[in-house]
């Protein structure tokens, strides 16, 4: 492991102690082998003048909820040192009192809640304190010989701390270990918390950080000398099985889950290891991970549903063994070891799934290393339970926003580069869906980025590109729950006796046959979806055709019939199939100002009158269609299938 310190970069953070604390904290956070997604904590002790001009000694400690990789000055909580020292001398202190008193001792009430390790940081007699959950330290200490290994590597440079509950208990334990000692004279430069992590400290920001790098490197070198190497193997990815696994996990979770498959050679090699079902499910690298990953991953056998159910049953038994008044969390796994396939991570959102995937990847590498150099032996499950159900840790998860309607769902939308299609994709994304947009427009990847979605250039009349796009969605997110078949064209108006045959054929191919091709390929995956829904975008012309629009009107009529047949076929699978019929949606590329004026003039109307010529005299916009489609895919329409819904402000010819 290399130091990332750079003098020029360090200078941009300022020369004051807090500025340097921010910089070295970020250096720790940049390395996933040290900390992941909010893990670890850092601090600096300073003397500042308060509002009244009096000197006050403060411990600026990382605030709860902040990530070391991106932390700023505002992410550190200024807590009065005298209050923290007084807390360290109490015989007992509840978690609630600790959080309350730390907050009461802050000089800035707008700062985040201080880390639960604030007291521990305060009692260490150095300006800078760095703490990580380094992988190498876990591999070194999650073993029956962990303490002996630490002594062998570091000698008297570190204090060895047996595992105890983080927070007040840990602070008291360390206080007892350092009582009456002069750590500087003894040459103490750090602490190794068995089965937890590493602390280093110094009065200089760079020295404290580089001590951390040095000590982790020493652990890495020790492990490397043991000759441990990661296993590798090729994946035999089965996308349909992935969709089925995601469905099984989502049912146990109670919500749709994004599923991320890591099919790298390393992940597959790990999943294929002999006895990985035993040592790979013993426990996490650090107890902090349990709030995101639970105590252990699932192991997936040939029967996917039975494997997930077995995990749920075992989780319930684990809860019952250790619970004392808590309410059991859902029993679904957060990641799974899957021989032949790799490692699958699950989350309510893509961000959540990626966080779990990062932790799972780090866990697999470290567990494999630990097992190969003497046996992986993490904390007993009772200790993990205490962290997983610790209210201070659960509070971090409860801070998230309210759940969105389509959160965790995967939506495939065609013809979404502009107009109605884009509005549909946008509405679904706004309500939490992970959207994959397909369009022949070469700008579709950039267009979809605007709404946090993925765009793929696809000619929907070609079989293989459509299949590839569907496979991409399943491979990236685990399945498909919502399909909006919207792609279409409106050819030039020609009467039947003068229409070019090519215009008819092209319209039928795009407006009808491409939808049929999509259904043929996507339905097998939709059958594995969560609260699955298919929505077609039709037209008012189905019921109220106009002269010169035979190709368009007939294609939309046939598309409506396709929807009705699909509804009949898919109802036994609990898949809803409906169609929306928009009319007079003028905020699209098709309707230029010139085209609007020409059409309005034909009716003897102004443009504004023409836009609102429906019975309700309201303008219909693309977003109205997008919101309707999003609603049709939601629980509001949970028991509706085969429906044809007009969004046209009322049309006397249709009514």
**What are the tokens at 198?**
């590493």
pLDDT in tens, 622-631: 999 999 999 9
Across the range 271-297, mean pLDDT stands at 93
- Say what the pLDDT of residue 397 is: 60
pLDDT for the residue numbered 529: 98
Q: Which of 110-114, 394-398, 404-408, 510-514 has the lowest mean pLDDT?
A: 394-398
Class for the domain spanning 239-398: alpha beta
> What's the pLDDT at 230?
82
Structural contact between residues 337 and 275, judged by C-beta atoms closer than 8 angstroms: no
In this predicted structure, the answer to whether residue 401 has a pLDDT above a threshold of 80 is: no
The reply to whether domains 7-225 and 239-398 share a CATH topology is yes
pLDDT at 398 over 90: no
Please state, for a pLDDT cut of 70, what percent of the chain lies above it.
99
For residues 601-618, give the mean pLDDT. 92
**Strands, DSSP E only, in 76-183?**
76-80, 128-132, 158-161
Angle between helices 95-104 and 81-88 (to 10 degrees): 160
Q: Check if the beta carbon of residue 336 is closer than 8 Å to that of residue 304.
A: no
pLDDT > 70? residue 395: no
User: Does position 307 have pLDDT exceeding 80, yes or no?
Assistant: yes
Strand ranges inside 30-125, DSSP E: 41-49, 55-62, 76-80
- The pLDDT, as a whole number, for residue 491 is 84
Task: List the structure tokens of 90.
Answer: 């109490």
Residue 130 is predicted with a pLDDT of 98
Q: How many other C-beta atoms can be found within 10 angstroms of the C-beta atom of residue 266?
A: 18
Closest alpha carbon to 465 in 444, 446, 440, 489: 440
Fold of 410-585+620-647: Rossmann fold (3.40.50)
Segments making up each domain of the chain, as ranges: 7-225, 239-398, 410-585+620-647
Helix 146-154 / helix 205-225 crossing angle, nearest 10 deg: 120
- Asked about 60 being catalytic, the answer comes back as no
Helix (H) or strand (E) holding 582: strand 576-582
pLDDT digits 0-9 by tens, 420-447: 999 999 999 999 999 999 999 999 999 9
Report CA Rg, the chain. 30
80-89, 125-134, 286-295: least confidently modelled range: 286-295
What predicted TM-score, i.e. pTM, was given to this entire model?
0.91
Mean per-residue pLDDT of the chain:
94
Select the more confidently predicted residue: 343 or 600: 343
Q: 463-514, pLDDT tens digit by residue?
A: 999 999 999 999 999 999 999 999 998 887 789 999 999 999 999 999 999 9
User: Domain 7-225 is of which CATH architecture?
Assistant: 3-Layer(aba) Sandwich (3.40)
The active-site residue, picked from 172, 552, 611, 621, is 552
Per-residue pLDDT, averaged over 599-608, amounts to 90
Give the pLDDT mean for 80-86: 97
* H-assigned helices in 478-620: 501-508, 514-526, 550-570, 593-602, 607-611
pLDDT for residue 394 is more than 80: no
Mean pLDDT of 577-601: 88
Q: What is the pLDDT of residue 393?
A: 65
Measuring CA to CA, how many Å separate 240 from each of 83, 473, 531, 575?
Answer: 58, 12, 17, 17
Q: Which pLDDT belongs to residue 568?
A: 98
- 593 — pLDDT class (breaks 50, 70, 90): confident
Would residue 552 show up in a list of annotated catalytic residues for this protein? Answer: yes
Q: Which residue of the set 45, 62, 294, 556 is catalytic?
A: 556
Residue 229 has pLDDT above 80, yes or no: no
DSSP 5-38: --HHHHHTT-SSHHHHHHHHHHHHHT-TTT--TT
Residue 161, pLDDT > 90, answer: yes
């Amino acid at each position: 492991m290399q130091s990332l310190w750079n003098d020029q970069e360090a200078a941009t953070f300022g020369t004051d102690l807090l500025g340097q604390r921010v910089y070295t904290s970020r250096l720790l956070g940049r390395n996933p082998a040290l900390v992941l997604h909010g893990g670890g904590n850092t601090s600096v002790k300073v003397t500042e003048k308060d509002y009244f001009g009096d000197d006050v000694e403060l411990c600026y400690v990382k605030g709860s909820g902040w990530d070391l990789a991106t932390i700023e000055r505002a992410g550190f909580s200024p807590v009065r040192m005298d209050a923290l020292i007084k807390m360290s001398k109490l015989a007992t202190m509840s978690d609630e009192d600790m959080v309350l008193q730390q907050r009461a001792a802050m000089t800035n009430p707008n700062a985040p809640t201080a880390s639960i390790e604030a007291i521990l940081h305060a009692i260490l007699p150095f300006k800078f304190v760095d703490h990580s959950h380094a992988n190498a330290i876990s591999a070194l200490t999650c073993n029956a010989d962990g303490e002996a290994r630490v002594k062998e590597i570091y000698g008297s440079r570190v204090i060895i701390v047996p595992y105890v509950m983080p927070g007040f208990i840990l602070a008291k334990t360390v206080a007892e270990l350092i009582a009456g000692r002069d750590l500087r004279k003894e040459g103490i430069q750090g602490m190794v918390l068995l089965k937890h992590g590493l602390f280093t400290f110094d009065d200089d920001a760079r020295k404290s950080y580089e001590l951390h790098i040095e000590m982790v490197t020493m652990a890495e070198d020790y492990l490397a000398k043991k000759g441990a190497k990661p296993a590798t193997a090729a994946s035999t990815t089965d996308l349909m099985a992935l969709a089925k696994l995601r469905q099984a996990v989502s049912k146990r979770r109670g919500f749709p889950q994004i599923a991320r498959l890591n099919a790298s050679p390393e992940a597959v090699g790990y999943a294929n290891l002999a006895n990985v079902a035993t040592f790979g499910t013993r426990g996490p690298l650090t107890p902090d991970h349990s709030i995101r990953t639970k105590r252990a991953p699932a192991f997936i056998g040939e029967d996917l549903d039975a494997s997930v159910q077995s995990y749920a049953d075992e989780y319930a038994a684990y809860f019952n063994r250790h619970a004392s008044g808590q309410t059991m969390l859902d029993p679904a796994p957060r990641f799974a070891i899957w021989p032949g396939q790799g490692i699958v991570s699950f989350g309510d959102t893509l961000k959540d799934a990626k966080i779990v995937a990062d932790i799972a990847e780090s866990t697999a590498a470290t567990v494999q290393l630990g097992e190969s150099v003497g046996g992986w032996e993490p904390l007993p499950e009772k200790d993990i339970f205490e962290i997983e159900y610790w209210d201070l840790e659960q509070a971090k998860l409860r801070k998230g926003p309210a759940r969105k309607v389509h959160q965790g769902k995967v939506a495939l939308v065609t013809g979404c580069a502009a107009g109605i299609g884009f509005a549909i994709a946008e509405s679904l994304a706004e309500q939490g869906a992970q959207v994959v947009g397909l369009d022949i427009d070469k700008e579709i990847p950039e267009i979809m980025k605007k709404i946090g979605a993925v765009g793929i250039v696809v000619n929907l009349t070609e079989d293989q590109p459509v299949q590839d796009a569907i496979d991409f969605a399943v491979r990236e997110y685990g399945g498909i729950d919502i399909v909006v078949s919207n792609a279409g064209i409106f050819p030039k108006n020609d009467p039947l006796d003068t229409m070019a045959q090519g215009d008819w054929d092209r319209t039928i191919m795009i407006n009808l046959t491409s939808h049929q091709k999509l259904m043929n390929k996507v339905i097998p995956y939709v059958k594995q979806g969560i609260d699955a829904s298919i929505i077609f975008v039709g037209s008012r012309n189905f019921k109220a055709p106009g002269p010169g629009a035979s190709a368009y009107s007939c294609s939309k009529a046939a598309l409506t019939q396709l929807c009705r047949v699909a509804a009949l076929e898919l109802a036994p699978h609990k898949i809803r199939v409906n169609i929306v019929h928009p009319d007079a949606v003028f905020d699209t590329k098709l309707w230029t100002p010139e085209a609007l004026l020409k059409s309005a003039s034909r009716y003897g109307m102004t443009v504004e009158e023409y836009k609102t010529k429906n019975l309700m005299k309201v303008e219909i916009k693309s977003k109205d269609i997008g919101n309707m489609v999003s609603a049709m895919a939601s629980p509001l329409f949970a028991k509706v299938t085969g429906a044809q819904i007009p969004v046209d402000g009322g049309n006397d010819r249709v009514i």
